[in-house]
Structure 1
Amino acid sequence: MQPIDELDEKFGLEGEVGFMEIEGELPFISISNKYAQADICLYGAHAMSFIPHNNMDFLWMSPDSFMQEGKAIRGGIPVCFPWFGPHQSDSQQPQHGFGRLMFWDVVETQALPNGETLIRMQLQSSDATKAYWPHDFLAEMIFTIGKKLTATLKVTNTSTASFEYGCALHTYYTISAIGNIQMEGLEGLSYYNQLTGEDGRQNEKLLTVNEPLTRHYLNTETPVVINDPAFRRRIVVEKSGSKVTTVWNPGKEATSGIADIPDDGYEAFVCVEATNAFDYTVQLTPGASYETSAILGLEE
């Protein structure tokens, strides 16, 4: 990992971008500009907070998250790469890949002319990554912090052979209570219900969550709106480079068996994820790149 003082000297922007390491915690980048505040952890290139001015945090972080190397961070925007969910053939491999379990290098910070802030981080293939996955690659997480937060995973094939990968930007949204929200934009879409193993189609205009839910909406790039009347806000979840939208909430019973979420934690978040998985993984030829983005903002 890059030393914090060197990062601050090379990439810090006075009054806008700083690097911090709180005792017992993982190091992170703190961003503050005229639009918003944000925190991004160097471990996993993991966005932990996005707070537009005069609003509350978009991102839910578990108070019980394991903030230590070797364990995934719970909440925020985990970067699932180079596979989504369990490994297809080896159950000993880490859930959702290794991207969220490694330190990423900061390679660029920039104050943009429009007042937004750009942060770019990289993870390159190495002996450590090849212990999990045999391919040569360059993965980048590019964050633009403004009125909206744009998080982009760009993957480049630096090898001499084609490869296939899956990914997700596994975003946890802060909500007033799971029973309060309604989600728009999913009507008419086909989905795979991971909890039952069955395929379905959403006929309802609004999705409400009153039981455990793991749905993967297929072949869609449609924005989703999280309407939260109690918080008086409508979060617009846009995406690009993703053909699957995953909506997840574990419900009460499953949450009690998840060590890094409080027993009542399921009440406070919903995940809406920009995913490439199942029949919609990404095929990359040598030298080719592909970008998957999640764009978080308030309805204007």
Structure 2
Amino acid sequence: MNLDELNEEFGLEGEIGFYEEEDIVFAMVSNKYADATISLYGAQILNYNPVRSMEILWMSPESIFEKGKAIRGGIPVCFPWFGPHVSDETMPQHGFARILDWEVSKTEMLPNGESKIVLQLCSSEETKKYWPYDFCADMIFTVGNKLSVTLKVTNTSNEPLDYTCALHSYFSLSAIQNITIEGLENTLYQNQLDGGEYLQETELLEIAQAETRHYYDTETTCVIDDPIYKRRIRIEKEGSKNTTVWNPWAEACLQMGDVPDDAYETFVCLETVNKINNSIELSPGENHETTAIIGIE
């Protein structure tokens, strides 16, 4: 579907429109609550800016917008695996969903003035180069006073399938040393950097070094408190039993080609995940929804 056809069928005047840059199509959403931009490549929301507030999501100013490469920032969707492939290191990190084009299947203005857009990726010859199953995945974005992002996966095959996933959310900060994260007290986590398992006993998580923490069996709401920006970002979730907190810190940033050297100072990833001990198993015809709901307290 070309750009004119997209705008004719799915555009909503003054609220949702589509444009193209460098062979990538974007949806622009604007309503009384917020503005947002969504890339159809990767089904990835790039910004969410509530009215009378500042941008909540972080985007790398050096992100590469090129087919076959992941976009750095916003909320990438990791599916059907999170992290490296379990048995084939040649497979793309975090799965293939974030490096393929998705189709628009629905746009809608809700009665309360929120905007909804649904993107879909179904199994094809392309996806079966990476994963043998028949499926349909929907990314459902609702832009309003809060941002709701849902990955819905349906097993359309005749056999069971299992997958892991993440909504890999990047949050914009005044500075990493200023913030604390609430909601993970007394929660067991795996430290990916040393392979150990630990219990977070403190009420607040402060980040002062590289962190890749995968928290087990938690459905708790988390809050990023940023007193310099005078805001508290609240991240609720549904259909997710793991939470990942990630910041690469200085040395790793120097090795990343699509971020500034000091990028680690201005973002943290607090991710809505199903992995670790909670992969999703679907029988034929079954579906599962993983949702992050993001707003300002």
TM-score normalised by L of structure 1? 0.98
- Asked whether the equivalents of residues 216 and 276 of structure 2 are also in contact (C-alpha less than 8 Å), the reply is no
Paired with 1:87 and 1:222, the residues of 2 have a C-alpha distance of: 27
Paired with 1:120 and 1:210, the residues of 2 have a C-alpha distance of: 38
Matches within 5 A, 1:16-31: 16-22=15-21, 24=22, 26-31=24-29
Paired with 1:61 and 1:49, the residues of 2 have a C-alpha distance of: 8
Paired with 1:20 and 1:232, the residues of 2 have a C-alpha distance of: 34
Q: What does residue 10 of structure 2 align with? A: 11
1:215 is the counterpart of 2:219: no
Q: What does residue 195 of structure 1 align with? A: 193
Q: What does residue 98 of structure 1 align with? A: 96
Q: What does residue 240 of structure 1 align with? A: 238
Paired with 2:88 and 2:242, the residues of 1 have a C-alpha distance of: 23
Paired with 2:45 and 2:4, the residues of 1 have a C-alpha distance of: 21
Paired with 1:85 and 1:149, the residues of 2 have a C-alpha distance of: 25
- TM-superposed deviation, 1:279: 1.3
Paired with 1:192 and 1:18, the residues of 2 have a C-alpha distance of: 42
RMSD: 0.7
Matches within 5 A, 1:34-73: 34-73=32-71
SS in 2 for 1:230: coil
1:261 is the counterpart of 2:259: yes
2:168 pairs, out of 170, 182, 201, with 170
Q: Report the AA paired with residue 21 of structure 1.
A: E
Q: What does residue 75 of structure 1 align with? A: 73
- TM-superposed deviation, 1:4: 1.3
SS in 2 for 1:127: coil
Q: Report the AA paired with residue 27 of structure 1.
A: V
Q: Report the AA paired with residue 33 of structure 1.
A: N
Paired with 1:180 and 1:26, the residues of 2 have a C-alpha distance of: 35
Paired with 2:177 and 2:251, the residues of 1 have a C-alpha distance of: 16
- TM-superposed deviation, 1:26: 2.2
Q: What does residue 142 of structure 1 align with? A: 140
Residue ranges of structure 1 left out of the alignment (5+ in a row) = none
SS in 2 for 1:10: helix
Q: What does residue 282 of structure 2 align with? A: 284
Q: What do residues 118-167 of structure 1 show as CA deviations (whole Å, max 9, x unaligned)?
A: 10010000000000000000000001110000000000000000010000
SS in 1 for 2:176: coil
Paired with 1:20 and 1:248, the residues of 2 have a C-alpha distance of: 32
- Asked whether the equivalents of residues 222 and 236 of structure 2 are also in contact (C-alpha less than 8 Å), the reply is yes
Paired with 1:21 and 1:160, the residues of 2 have a C-alpha distance of: 37
TM-score normalised by L of structure 2? 0.99
SS in 2 for 1:245: strand
Q: What do residues 164-221 of structure 1 show as CA deviations (whole Å, max 9, x unaligned)?
A: 0000000000000011101111111000000010000001111000000000010000
1:224 is the counterpart of 2:195: no
Q: Report the AA paired with residue 149 of structure 1.
A: L
Paired with 1:164 and 1:149, the residues of 2 have a C-alpha distance of: 27
- Pairs aligned (count): 297
SS in 2 for 1:82: coil
Q: What does residue 184 of structure 2 align with? A: 186
- TM-superposed deviation, 1:21: 1.2
Paired with 1:175 and 1:212, the residues of 2 have a C-alpha distance of: 16
Paired with 1:186 and 1:288, the residues of 2 have a C-alpha distance of: 31
Q: What does residue 297 of structure 1 align with? A: 295
SS in 1 for 2:228: helix
Paired with 1:25 and 1:5, the residues of 2 have a C-alpha distance of: 15
Paired with 1:116 and 1:75, the residues of 2 have a C-alpha distance of: 23
